[in-house]
Every structure is written in structure tokens, then in C-alpha cells.
Amino acid sequence: MKFASLGSGSEGNALIIAGASGTTTTTVMLDCGFGIRETERRLARIGKLPQDISGIVVTHEHQDHVGGAFKFARRHRIPVWLTYGTFQAVGEEACKDVLLHFCRDSEELVIGDLSFMPYTVPHDAREPVQYVANDGVRKLGVLTDAGQSTSHLVQALSGCDALVLECNHDRRMLEESVYPPSLKRRIGGAYGHLANDTSAEILAAIEKQKLKTVVGAHLSLKNNTPELARAALCGALDAHAGDVMIACQEEGFDWIAIG
């Protein structure tokens, strides 16, 4: 299995996951927060065409995750998996002429050679889920857009070979930022986004025997730095700075193979 990011953060997210079994390869897009042309341009950067994408799995209705998902799906005739709550929040009109599949917490869905386990997270959306991708050999856990840790998410992410883990903000930087108090409360709240120290706690709590790769993601451009996020994750892993990668808004990250 391998994965790459087209971009990560509040301006737009899209994670590409490719898994092979035998002679076939399945490529799936997890969220699509970029417009059609921008998504195509960013896909080309990692050597993929729209027609390579077998399905789009969606986490929740916020624009940085679905801003381009249904338009891209309609244009390129790609089916979309989402929770019923996300569908309700997005509205029927936005999904018109798109083949939809509904998913729910703890019920695995299969797209070609890949399967995805949705798990519920605390976030201020209608029915938000995050996913653990599995190609039968390796597991990639993804967690962004969660306000706090829960035993449910710690269990879901345990035993993964690789993780993409939100490090949204540094608490002090958020507190001292120019954001209005209401926005600070939303981001830092129990249904907002993960602070570096909470991400580190999650990383410390999960079962990590197979874990080889950790990528910090969905960093705030204003209230965090790659160095702070990296330091928090490395602290929890007892690892060196070079062992942890950080996804960025503009570049995402290039293919990472889970060996």
C-alpha cells in the first residue's frame, strides 16, 4: 500500500491511497477539498489521472473536505462513499447525478483491492467519520478533524502500520492569535480540532507495535509550525525528528510506501 497527499489543511484536503493485490491496483481518494482543475493538477503531480480513481470516501461536510468531491465525482463518474448525516448536511442538490454509497461507523466498506473502516469522531459536523484503510496486509489510519481523543478512536487506530494524524494547532499560539474568542473556542473545543499535545496523547495511547510511519497533517498556517507539530509527535514516539513527516497545505506530500 502507498499513499500521498494533494494538500492538507483548512484550505483543502485530499489523500490518495493505492493498494494492490495480484495484478490489479485500486486507487481511492479520501476527501476532496479542491476544485476540479486544481484536483486534476495536483493528481498529475503524483502521476495519477482522474480515471485512475476508483472511488472517493468522504469524512464530513466541511468545505475543506468536500468542496470539490461531488463536482469531481460527477465530472469523472466516480462513486462516493459518505455517511447519511454527511449526505443530509451537504444536501441532495450537491450530490445530483453522483453514485452514492452510504457508510456508517464500524461497518467496513470495500472498493476494489482496498477496504475502509469508518469510525466516528468528535467534530462539529452532522455525522463525521474518519477511516482506517486496509489492503489485506497493511493498515493506514487517518485522523483529522477531531476535537478530543476518545477510546473509540484510540481503538480504531491501534495496530496500524502508518498514520496520518492531525496536528492542528499549538495551544499557546491559538490562545495568543488574533482569532476572535468564538473561533478560538470552536477550534480548541471538544468538537473542534486536535492540538499538538492531544495528538501526542493519542499517539502515546494507541498500540504501536507495527507502526513505522507517522505524518502530521491538517496544520493551521497561523497557529502552528511544522517544528512544534513534529516535536510533539516525536516526543510521543520517542523518535528522532527525521522519523516524522509533516504534510503541508500547498504540497501535501509525495508517495509514501508502507513496506
Q: What are phi and psi of 134, to 5 degrees?
A: -145, 130
At its nearest, how many Å lie between Zn ion and the CB of residue 10? 6
Pick the piece of the chain touching Zn ion (CB under 5 A) from 59-67, 71-79, 182-190, 221-229. Answer: 59-67
In b/e form, how buried is each residue of 113-129, taking b as 16+ CB within 10 angstroms?
bbbbbbbbbbbbbebbb
3-state class (DSSP) for residue 80: strand
Verify binding: residue 61, Zn ion, rule CB under 5 A: no
Pick the piece of the chain touching Zn ion (CB under 5 A) from 19-27, 64-72, 74-82, 174-182. Answer: 64-72
At its nearest, how many Å lie between Zn ion and the CB of residue 165? 13
Give me the residues paired with residue 219 across strands.
none
Nearer to Zn ion (CB atom), residue 145 or residue 170: 145
Nearer to Zn ion (CB atom), residue 40 or residue 145: 145
**How many C-beta atoms lie closer than 10 Å to residue 64's C-beta?**
22
What residues between 99 and 128 interact with Zn ion by CB under 5 A?
Answer: none
With residues binned 3-state (H G I as helix, E B as strand, rest as coil), the percentages for the chain, rounded to 5, are 30, 30, 40
Pick the piece of the chain touching Zn ion (CB under 5 A) from 56-64, 131-139, 166-174, 202-210. Answer: 56-64
The H or E element containing residue 27 is strand 24-30
Q: How many residues bind Zn ion (CB under 5 A)?
A: 3
Nearer to Zn ion (CB atom), residue 48 or residue 62: 62
At its nearest, how many Å lie between Zn ion and the CB of residue 33? 8
Give me the residues paired with residue 3 across strands.
17, 256
- Could you give the angle at which helices 226-237 and 196-205 cross, rounded to 10 degrees? 20
At its nearest, how many Å lie between Zn ion and the CB of residue 240? 29
Verify binding: residue 62, Zn ion, rule CB under 5 A: yes
Q: Which three cell numbers stand for residue 24?
A: 490489479
Q: Name residue, grid cell 504534510.
A: 247
Nearer to Zn ion (CB atom), residue 121 or residue 244: 121
Residue from 4, 92, 91, 10 nearest 53 by CA: 4
Nearer to Zn ion (CB atom), residue 55 or residue 147: 147
Nearer to Zn ion (CB atom), residue 113 or residue 145: 145
The burial of 76, by beta-carbon neighbours within 10 Å (0-12 exposed, 13-18 middle, 19 or more buried), is given as middle
Binding pattern for the stretch 135-174 against Zn ion, x by CB under 5 A and - elsewhere = ----------x-----------------------------
Nearer to Zn ion (CB atom), residue 1 or residue 217: 217
Q: Confirm if 218 and 167 have CB atoms less than 8 A apart.
A: yes
Residue from 31, 64, 127, 166 touching Zn ion (CB under 5 A): that is 64
Residue nearest Zn ion (C-beta atom): 62
Sites of contact with Zn ion (CB under 5 A) = 62, 64, 145
